Structure 1
Amino acid sequence: MGIINKLHVRWKRYLEIGEVKKPLLLLLPYVARYWETYFWLFVLMFSGIGVTLFFTWFLQNMTDAAIGRNVSEVKTLLLYGVLFTVFSSVLSYFNTYLEAAAVVKVRTDLKNALFHHMMRLPAKYYGNQHSGEMVSRLTNDVNNIEGAIGSNMLSVVRLPLMAVGAFVYLFQINGALALLCVLLGPVAAVSGAVFGKLIRRNGRAVHDALGKLHSFLNDSFAGYAVIRSFTLEKQTYQQYESINGKLLGLEFKLARLRGWFQAGASSAGALSFFVCLGVGVHYVMNGSMSVGDLLAFVNLVQFLVYPLTGLAGMWGAFQRSVAALERVQEVFSEVPETRELPAYQPVSGVKGSIELKGIRFSYDGQTNALERFDLKIPAGKVVALVGPSGAGKSTLIHLLMGFYQPQEGEILFDGLPVSHMSRAQLRSCTAYVPQENYLFDGTVGDNIACGKTDSSEEQWVRAAKEANAHEFIVSLPSGYHTEIGERGVRLSGGQRQRIAIARAILKDAPVLLLDEATSALDSETEYQVQEALEKLMKDRTTIVVAHRLSTIHNADLIAVVDQGRVIEQGTHAELIGKNGLYARLYHIQYNQERSAASRLDQASVSLG
């Protein structure tokens, strides 16, 4: 018994039964939701097995009746055959329809649940994942789980039952011959189980390769302007061809695995047929079997051997679905930052004072982006954050929006710790305008309405006017209903930025976060955007990450950040008087701007 138990454990470990169980448990709630559909599928499955056995009985008795010239029995059997043919057709229709319905419902629910989960994952997850890879898991991987919830899953149950039913029927015809045929099945079943494991591993590699392919395509289409400007078309195509070649190699490997298995299964089936036929002919010749018995036996033996060989094949396909499901499970294993999807909550009575006390934060757990960071931001004031690149300015903005949580220290809004606020409450208090704004595929109005989803077109117009955007919007072909393309590709940088400001105005949040919102614009466009920002900043607590120091002269407070800490703070005049880091940065920029202006004047004179 000890040896048998060890072999059982090793075999179970080899086939990775425990690993298969984990992703299948993920599916259980979704399958259980449609238990009635699956119940009727199982009823149809048993009915189908009965129909198969009936047709074997029909063939057996029809042959014997024909040989015995029993016309009356032939007529009766023909009537039964017609009725059961109609019955079988009805079963086939409902089985196909219900199976497709079950698969579509479970797959749709799983997609919804996965996207719902993704929307609640922390910013750290998105920072570590490629968008193409995430799309692949939501589309390709979920679509490929069909084998685990549809035909393959049902076949894993149906085929063994079919084999048992066929064996019982064949044993009644000739027990010795039935036992002889069934001995060939386990060999094929074991070999198929081994191939199933190999197919699962190959399937996982295929799904990983598809994820990389989706990521590459996403980058290629989104970055087409860079590809063309640097004439990278040929190199990009060669990379695509290489990725596709690796995927092709994996598909060929899968084809070889299936081919070897199918060859073995076919050989087992053919061997069973010839053994039954040869031995059966012997029994017919010595009178221990009728011709009808032999015909029934030869017809039904495939349902004895095929379920054992086919089960292994179905197990291989089932394993490939499990490989896709494992990738989906990996996403579900990520811990979300909220239980429910955050939704905008109108705020009232929020003054907008912010205090950061002893903040320490690290993205990777090793290098601190912020360390012993202390800053008080009075309500309704404009506070500018300046400092070298990588000093921690944008990190602070992300912390204030709750994208990340500090490892040490506390952030307070109006004296209330952020840890006591929900993500929805915190983010409803802030409006964010980044340097490179993201516009969604849709209309101008759709993008402005992101600031307040239940807003009217009249409110869009009011916000756009305050953002200095109304004039260019109405000049577009369809005004506020003009389609702007993916990421607003049909608009200029300044136009996109003013739409972003308009949706921030529409949100009407008490705290405004500006992350270098004008640094990428030309002087004329910057003036228009800056004018819009000044309207937006009125009566709001505003935190500005500044790139051009000339734009923050009038800030109520300037905090100089370096190496994750506030090293200086005060007004522009006070900081210039201290002659510290701010003064050095300001004079460097001032001299650079004067030099650039001088070169421009000289060029104008020479052209004149």
Structure 2
Amino acid sequence: MDKSVSPHSTNDGEKKSKGIKSLLPIAAFVKPYKVMVILALIALIVTAAVALSLGQGVKLVIDSGFVASSTSQLNVAAMSMIAMILLLAVGTFFRFYLMSWLGERVVADMRKAVLEKIVFLHPNYFEENRSAEITSRLTTDTTLLQSIIGSSFSMALRSSLTLVGGLVMLFVTNLKLSLIVVAFVPLVLLPMFAFGKKVRRLASSSQDAIADIGTYATEIIQNIKVVQSYTQEPAECKAFADEVESAFDVAKARIKQRALLIAIAIFSIFGAITVMLWVGGSDVIAGNITAGDLAAFVFYAVMVAMSVATIAEVYSELQRAAGAAQRLLQLLEVKSDLLSPEHDAPLDVSLGTAIDIKQLSFSYPSRPTQLALNQINLTVNQGEVVAIVGPSGAGKSTLFEMLQRFYDPQQGAITLNGIDIRSLPLAQLRKLMGLVPQNPVLFSADVMHNIRYGKPTASEEEVINAAKKAHAHEFIEALPEGYNSFLGEQGVRLSGGQKQRIAIARAILKDPSILLLDEATSALDSESEFHVQAALVELMKNRTTLIIAHRLSTVKHADSIVVMEQGKVVNQGKHHMLIESDPLYQRLCQLQFEGA
């Protein structure tokens, strides 16, 4: 298995400079829900104000009730406390609900935005970036942000308000004791910022390590039959264990930094409270302040201490979220190399579609010095069936990808009815074409969904008719739930030939102007191939068809045969002409077609 890690576009230096500022662009996703934000802030302010008022309630209970030994005053003070606590509980309910709702809503929107970006990116992006890592960003990173927006951010705001309010009330209650508390604040804040940077860097590395684990596990699971056939289970378990241990080492370092941060904050905070209690107790004994004043002061001091501790912990979470936000925003900022034109060219396909390829040259971005296609010239008239043959690596599949504009050429052009395909909207271009690949792709859904993928609006009757034309209806009906049968991941519950016929039914249902058949019958037995070939012949009527062929029956019935080698068209003609005049075609017939 390939355990190489794709380079991340953002280096450590950039991550250091951005920090929590990376979370600012998330505000664009929060903006549509301003009303909910305002309501949540109101609930937040109310609960903070009520929490601060509890300190005065404590003072009232002690001075008016205990010290004054007045039952009536004690009852009034207690009832006042209960009323404030009830208001605090109601406010907390609304604060928690609104902030949690906001977190879930924003993350749902972000996931949709990321997927909407991903599905329109150029295919080359997925060759350079691992699918499991992209999936990790879409799931793990967004889940982390949901926790931050819905919980941690709310806690940070609440703690900030109570910290400021608590400090004000401390100074109002007793200036001397307040100065003692304030003197300890730098001892808490300085380690928080120092350790916070380390936590953020380690958190980002931890997220990357988790993505690596997901990538490796996905690769093993997807290729489990290969792993087992080569008896590589122990080796893969060991390799996976190494990946897990590497992620654990990074997580361990992150946890250590967070633990140190929290430990220093707790020692500083409660050390300050202890000193403050000693000084305050001395003043109560000396008669300088009342017991109620000291109790209120202790209440506010504990509130300030808890607020600072919460901010210290949440700050490290925010640092962690900053790394996740950076990775998500990287995805959202990626620009596709393939864009639809601003002004659409008029394309009339009512009378059919002709293909003209002129001086086409192309090399893959990963191999820029190696031409996959070299000066290709090819004309396919409306309604023609053209077979493309050649050895492996000749450029046959690349030509199909260029026709669907998965890549743009470095030189030359492809035109449909005289119009460059780069002048057409991508959706319009690809709707004109129906592809049946050599290895058909089926989704983890039922048969109906997989066939209907060719035409989502198709009725059930249309789907069944397409399946009958592809000679798939009989085996579909034999499945446990017929057309509603779940096929498993990548259609694992079907044979190769059955998958192929589902893919053919999908193409038949799409009813395209251009058919691209990449060895469409290669996985069928002789009887199925005969019936499907008959269906394809019917389907190919009045359509322009290109076939990558490895079977003699397909080649012999084509209007023209294109022979390719090393990215070039080396010959073109009918079967009987090429078999006599072209040595490469003769060799291909001997090697690939003689079995047929």
Task: Return the TM-score normalized by structure 2.
Answer: 0.91
Matched, 1:410 2:409: no
CA distance in 1, matches of 2:24, 2:589: 61
CA distance in 2, matches of 1:226, 1:579: 39
Q: What letter is aligned with 2:59?
A: Q
Aligned to 1:8: none
* Residues 100 and 151 in structure 2, CA contact (< 8 A), matched pair in contact too: no
Please give the per-residue CA displacement for 1:528-570, whole angstroms capped at 9, x wherever unaligned: 4434333332321111112235530221111122222212111
Aligned to 2:481: 478
Aligned to 1:251: 251
Aligned to 2:390: 387
- Spell out the pairing of 1:370-519 with structure 2 (5 A cutoff): 370-519=373-522
Deviation for aligned residue 1:221:
2.4
Aligned to 2:41: 42
Aligned to 1:276: 276
Matched, 1:290 2:293: no
Deviation for aligned residue 1:399:
1.0
- Spell out the pairing of 1:111-510 with structure 2 (5 A cutoff): 111-336=111-336, 337=338, 348-364=349-365, 365-510=368-513
The change in CA–CA distance for 1:159 and 1:481 in structure 2 (over 3 A counts) is closer
- Spell out the pairing of 1:556-575 with structure 2 (5 A cutoff): 556-575=559-578
CA distance in 2, matches of 1:170, 1:590: 91
The change in CA–CA distance for 1:148 and 1:347 in structure 2 (over 3 A counts) is farther
Aligned-residue RMSD, C-alpha: 2.3
4+ residue segments displaced more than 6 Å = none
* Residues 15 and 323 in structure 2, CA contact (< 8 A), matched pair in contact too: no
Deviation for aligned residue 1:142:
0.8
Please give the per-residue CA displacement for 1:28-47, whole angstroms capped at 9, x wherever unaligned: 12111111111122112211
CA distance in 2, matches of 1:80, 1:354: 84
Deviation for aligned residue 1:249:
2.2
Deviation for aligned residue 1:263:
0.9
Deviation for aligned residue 1:123:
1.1
Identity %: 35
Secondary structure in structure 2 of the residue aligned to 1:352: coil
Task: Return the TM-score normalized by structure 1.
Answer: 0.89
**How many pairs does the alignment contain?**
575
Q: What letter is aligned with 1:544?
A: I
Deviates more, 1:212-221 or 1:58-67: 212-221
Deviation for aligned residue 1:52:
1.9
- Spell out the pairing of 1:90-101 with structure 2 (5 A cutoff): 90-101=90-101
CA distance in 2, matches of 1:14, 1:351: 53
The change in CA–CA distance for 1:588 and 1:240 in structure 2 (over 3 A counts) is closer
Deviates more, 1:299-308 or 1:161-170: 299-308
Aligned to 1:551: 554
Secondary structure in structure 1 of the residue aligned to 2:357: strand
CA distance in 1, matches of 2:348, 2:276: 81
Secondary structure in structure 1 of the residue aligned to 2:372: strand
CA distance in 2, matches of 1:216, 1:226: 15
* Residues 30 and 109 in structure 1, CA contact (< 8 A), matched pair in contact too: yes
CA distance in 2, matches of 1:203, 1:381: 59
Q: What letter is aligned with 1:426?
A: L
CA distance in 1, matches of 2:170, 2:122: 61
Q: Extract unaligned runs of 5+ from structure 1.
A: 1-12, 341-345, 595-608
* Residues 192 and 309 in structure 1, CA contact (< 8 A), matched pair in contact too: no
* Residues 445 and 480 in structure 1, CA contact (< 8 A), matched pair in contact too: yes
The change in CA–CA distance for 1:78 and 1:361 in structure 2 (over 3 A counts) is same
Please give the per-residue CA displacement for 1:13-62, whole angstroms capped at 9, x wherever unaligned: 999353432x3233112111111111122112211221122111111222
Q: What letter is aligned with 1:354?
A: I
Secondary structure in structure 2 of the residue aligned to 1:121: coil
* Residues 120 and 338 in structure 1, CA contact (< 8 A), matched pair in contact too: no
- Spell out the pairing of 1:513-528 with structure 2 (5 A cutoff): 513-528=516-531
Deviates more, 1:526-535 or 1:367-376: 526-535
* Residues 204 and 324 in structure 1, CA contact (< 8 A), matched pair in contact too: yes
* Residues 500 and 524 in structure 2, CA contact (< 8 A), matched pair in contact too: no
* Residues 148 and 322 in structure 1, CA contact (< 8 A), matched pair in contact too: no
Matched, 1:85 2:88: no
* Residues 24 and 322 in structure 1, CA contact (< 8 A), matched pair in contact too: yes
Matched, 1:24 2:19: no
The change in CA–CA distance for 1:271 and 1:120 in structure 2 (over 3 A counts) is same
CA distance in 2, matches of 1:239, 1:376: 51
